[in-house]
Structure 1
Amino acid sequence: MKLFTSLAMAALLSGAMPVMAQQQTITWWDFFAGGDGARMKALIQQFNDENPDIKVNATTLEWGTPFYTKVRTSAAVGQGPDVMTYHLSRLPMGLKEGILTPITDADLQIAGLAKDDFYTPALEAAKGPDSTLYAVPFDIHSTVLFYNKNLLKGTPFLDAEGNLTGIDSLEKFEAALAAAKANGSTAPISYATGDDGGVYRVFYTLLAQQGGELISADGQVLPGDSADKAVRAVEIMTKWAENGWQPEQALYEASVALFTSGKSAFFFNGAWEVPTMVDLSAKNELGFEWGVAEIPTLLEKHTNWADSHGWAVPIQGKAEMAPEKREAVMKLIGWMEKHSLDWAAAGHIPAYKPVATSPEFAAMKPNSNYAGLADRATYDPRSPVAGVASPTYDAAVNIIAPAIHGYMPATDAVDQLRAELEKAMK
């Protein structure tokens, strides 16, 4: 025993005995609440259980402006997280603030990922102007079209299996709205007509379907004939209001309630509301059959608004993150991507194609019904004044919403929109 102890001590002093690797502790910030929050907490717990060499300490902060303000101020002084969730639509603002670090090819290799693993629209939204990657896309969450099958019975807009059909133009969609109203729908198309996000996403989808741009890559607001296309988008939404097809000044919760109570035949909202419908249906609390599909091609182009949650690594003040810590962060990101099927249950489309194209995701209904939009989605303009909780969203609720409710002509609204965004960019 004494000989063994002496030899062990000698080996330790000589550096020959292997030293146990120190556990890496990762500080994580996200903004996920409700069902999203529960799913993410479960994923973090599973990761911690499977990776004893890495410990994730997670904190959930308030979504939107409060989250991004805290990230900016904390990262600048080295008090921010090691990794955080980040809307890709906010990436231009993060780059302007100088708080994001590049994601290198070596980082991706450590994570077991490659750029080709991701859908092109999401990957491009994660890059800076010089094509440097600054985030790893995790999902694609987009506007989709929920529909009430009961209110469409007897119309040409349901096929024999009860799936939405025959809507490939604005005219046919509006015919479906009229038919639903005749069938007793009091608000044939519901969306958050009094909220920034609801108004912006419908407006931006209609603009994008015309090939219009809100802000060009070189910073022009409504370049070329995009102002005319923006006017057309506002006029379409105004017509829906004038015909009594959409609710007046509906806040988000009210817009959801109109659909779940059976008053609306159609519902424009994010795919994140799919779990709401699934849960209510499972409890027999809907009172009608429902479906969900991609936003139809109402105008010239098959596309719609989308954003992504991604993983970003902020600066550490003036310090550099230790290589061992960054390696642990990238292993965490890679693990999350490969386990994103669990996250997809929240209605999102995995941005990581090996999961999105798997038989398991194909069997996940109704989510896989609208998975094709991942290749066709139009992301917010690559501008610091665009994205979640930005001046573009403010302009939607302050300018476009009043216009679609008849308080100003569409042309005046678009003129004001341009002026407000140009002012925000100065």
Structure 2
Amino acid sequence: MSKLYSIAKGAAVAATLFAGTAQAQETVTWWDFLAGGDGVRMKQMISDFNNAHEGKITINATTLEWGTPFYSKVQTSAAVGEAPDVMTYHASRIPLAVKQGILQEITPDDWTTMGLSKDNYASATWDAVSIDGKQYAVPLDTHPIVLYYNKDVLSKAGLLTEDGKPKGLESREAFEATLKALKDAGVKFPLGSVTADGNFMFRTIYSLMGQQDGELLTDGEFLAGDNGEKLQNVLTVLQGWTKEGLQSTYTDYPATVALFTSGEAAMMINGVWEVPTMVDLQKEGKLFEWGAVELPVIFDHASTYADSHAFAIPANKGKEMSPEKRAAVLEVIAWIEKNSLLWATAGHIPAYGPVTESAEYKAMEPNATYSTLTANMIFDPKTPLAGVAGPIFDVMSTYFVPTLNGEMDPAEAVEEIKAELNDL
């Protein structure tokens, strides 16, 4: 019996549970922030759900603008009882949402009804949606950053291992040797990095802090103890790569992708969400042979920053959700979780373990190759100041861009960042 058959069977059981609770058709109001390839895939999953639950449950979905606009609308809508029945949410934003009182707890009874449990999720992912021992969302995926690489260029330069991965992933010295060898081979940019966007570079920098067991927030203090030194270590390494011409300078997000897909950059650090871009270009015959792997170990051990798309239930002020509506919402969440193999084609790593353990997922590349990084994931510190488009991102990004591009001393940047963060 295949794993996916078991998953489908579990979904059928959940549907039966719902049928026993709700007699009339329920319409579930859904908000998400998913655009591009993400949006295409989620719309397909919603359509599949509606077809499978015809006459019982219908999802009425709306896609809103990603980032601050989405979260601001959720906050104001929940305050007047006009938020949706279910919505996508970033795990990194949950501490702020809990403080604002705009999320309902996903109770132990809810998890039982959905047929989901803590055992189905990586510990870091489960913890990312937990506050004081309570769960406030159901993780759909983890979406970390990875190292994309041009197999053709690296092969020509003799820089691929026998299993087709870049040489030098095991240490800073080895990886820098690979970068320098690529430069000597005439590659314009050995590494493409989003060095003009400090918000994006937070992901890389926080990953490399994690490789030193560094923490941004310790007992309410930012960059306490030797954590400032660990941040300085990272900024020094990355600034050095820029100065030596090993990574691109003042490059924004679209330009970074363009450098890689055009072949001007042999490797690129970017999110797994760019996998569909590569897949589509290759299908059209417009891209070289490529791959994606976990970030190289630059310091002590592997570590990668990740966030999770998750499902949350708003706490609509003055608007009680009926048992029938809640049963419908839980069925929506459970069905999407258990059928998230399609979501993996967007590059994301499904959070629901039985999907990533299935034979179908293990045959999916490059996802299956980089999925090992889930053992080394780190999430944002648990504070209302963290998360997508949050104050921590804003403060740090101000100093990351000039530092990475050689215009500010790393030690000075750390002192400024530390002072501003603690002023928050």
**Under TM normalisation by the shorter chain, which class is it?**
over 0.9
In structure 2, give the amino acid aligned to 1:193.
T
Partner of 2:408: 408
- 1:422 aligned onto 2:422: yes
Aligned with 1:59 (options 54, 59, 62): 62
Cα drift, residue 409 of structure 1: 0.9
Aligned residue runs from structure 1 range 216-365, under 5 A = 216=218, 218-286=219-287, 288-365=288-365
Q: 1:114 aligns with which of 112, 117, 128?
A: 117
**Whole-Å Cα distance in 1 between the matches of residues 158 and 385 of structure 2?**
42
The CA distance in 1 between the partners of 2:246 and 2:232, in whole Å, is 19
Residues 202-217 of structure 1: pairs in structure 2 closer than 5 A: 202-216=204-218
Distance in 1 of aligned mates of 2:318 and 2:165: 56
Q: TM-score, normalised by structure 2?
A: 0.92
CA drift at 1:37: 0.3
Q: 1:393: how far off?
A: 1.8
| Whole-angstrom CA distance in 1 between matches of 2:236 and 2:196 | 16
Q: Secondary structure at the match of 1:188?
A: strand
- Percentage of pairs with the same residue: 47
Partner Cα distance (1:76, 1:336) in 2: 27
- Deviation per CA, 1:202-228: give whole Å up to 9, x if none: 111111111100113x32101221000
Deviation at 1:281, TM superposition (A): 1.2
Correspondent of 2:171 among 164, 169, 174 = 169
Runs of 4+ in 1 over 6 A off after TM superposition: none
Residue 381 (structure 2) aligns with = 381
Rounded to whole Å, the distance in 2 between the matches of 1:248 and 1:156 is 26
The equivalent of 1:127 in structure 2 is 130
Matched-pair contact (CA < 8 Å) for 1:151–1:184: no
Q: Which residue of the partner structure matches residue 181 of structure 2?
A: 179
Is 144-153 or 323-332 further displaced after alignment? 144-153
User: How far apart are the structure 2 equivalents of 1:167 and 1:312?
Assistant: 37
Deviates more, 1:79-88 or 1:399-408: 399-408
Q: Which residue of 2 aligns with 1:26?
A: 28
The one-letter amino acid of 2:225's match is G
Q: Scaled by the length of structure 1, what TM-score is found?
A: 0.92
List runs of 5+ in structure 2 lacking aligned partners.
Answer: 1-20
Aligned residues of 1:75 and 1:316 also touching (Cα < 8 A) = yes
Which of residues 68, 83, 106 is equivalent to 1:103? 106
Structure ID, larger Rg: 1
Query: RCO greater where, 1 or 2, for CA within 8 Å and sep 6 or more?
Result: 2
Distance 1:181 1:132, change over 3 A: same
- Report if the CA contact (8 A) 2:168-2:296 is conserved: no
CA distance in 2, matches of 1:314, 1:153: 51
Counterpart check, 1:90 vs 2:98: no
* Kept after mapping to 2: 8 A contact 1:191/1:198: no
Report the residue type matching 1:175 in the other structure: A
The answer to whether 1:142 aligns with 2:144 is yes
Distance of 1:41 and 1:196 partners within structure 2? 31
The match for 1:10 is: none
Tell me how far 1:20 sits from its aligned partner: 9.1
Quote how far apart the aligned CAs of 1:154 are: 5.0
Partner deviation per Cα, 1:272-331 (whole Å, 9 max, x = no partner): 111111111111112x32111111222102111101000000101133211111111011
- In structure 2, the residue matched to 1:15 is none
1:152 pairs, out of 151, 154, 176, with 154
How far off its partner does 1:397 sit?
2.6
Question: Alignment partner for residue 50 of structure 2, among 48, 51, 55?
Answer: 48
Determine the C-alpha separation between the residues in 2 that align with 1:272 and 1:410.
30
Query: Which residue number corresponds to residue 5 of structure 2?
Result: none
Equivalent position SS for 2:144:
strand
Matched residues in 2 for 1:249 and 1:341: separation?
36
1:156: how far off?
5.4
What displacement does 1:417 show?
1.0
Gaps of 5+ in 1: 1-18
CA RMSD of aligned residues (A): 1.5
Between stretches 189-198 and 251-260, larger displacement belongs to 189-198
AA partner of residue 318 (structure 2): K
Aligned-pair CA distance for 1:404:
1.4
Structure 2: distance between partners of 1:35 and 1:392? 28
Q: Which residue of 2 aligns with 1:189?
A: 191
1:26 aligned counterpart, secondary structure: strand
